[in-house]
Amino acid sequence: MAFHPYLMFGGNCREALTRYQAIFGGELTLLTMADMPGDDPVPPEQADQIMHGALTIGDDLLMASDDPTGGFQGPRDMQVTYSTPEVDEAQRVFDALAEGGQVTMAAAATFFSPLFGMCVDRFGIPWMVDAEGEVPSG
């Protein structure tokens, strides 16, 4: 069994997933509202919005779309977590996600991780980033 986050955006899904691909690598697939099959035309202002996006990195999958309802209020009461064995990689990812966003807990060694930090990225997505491994003593 696997769990995969599915994020919603208020019109900037393409920009967010493109940024995440720059940070994490992987293969990005984007389907627009105009790509949907059917006889009903998509309103011109929604044609370029993302109906479904998928960033595939090895066995990991991050999916997202723009909210077609027009009622998007941003993510609520959730975090996306990224873990890596390397402290330097965790710091790189944290810094990249925090760029243009807001750091809510600076990345540092904790009692449970050699590096852990929290931020809200420039797209409004809250992230927790940690390095797996031995916890520093002292």
Give the burial string for 47-70 (b: 16+ CB within 10 Å, else e): eebbbbbbbeeeeeebebbbeeee
**All domains of the chain, ordered by start, with CATH?**
6-66 (3.10.180.10), 80-131 (3.30.720.110)
- Spans in the chain with pLDDT lower than 70: 1, 136, 138
Q: What's residue 66's pLDDT?
A: 94
Q: What's residue 77's pLDDT?
A: 87
Q: What's residue 3's pLDDT?
A: 83
- Global pTM? 0.91
Dihedral sign, Cα of residue 105, residue 99, residue 62, residue 131: negative
Q: What's residue 134's pLDDT?
A: 80
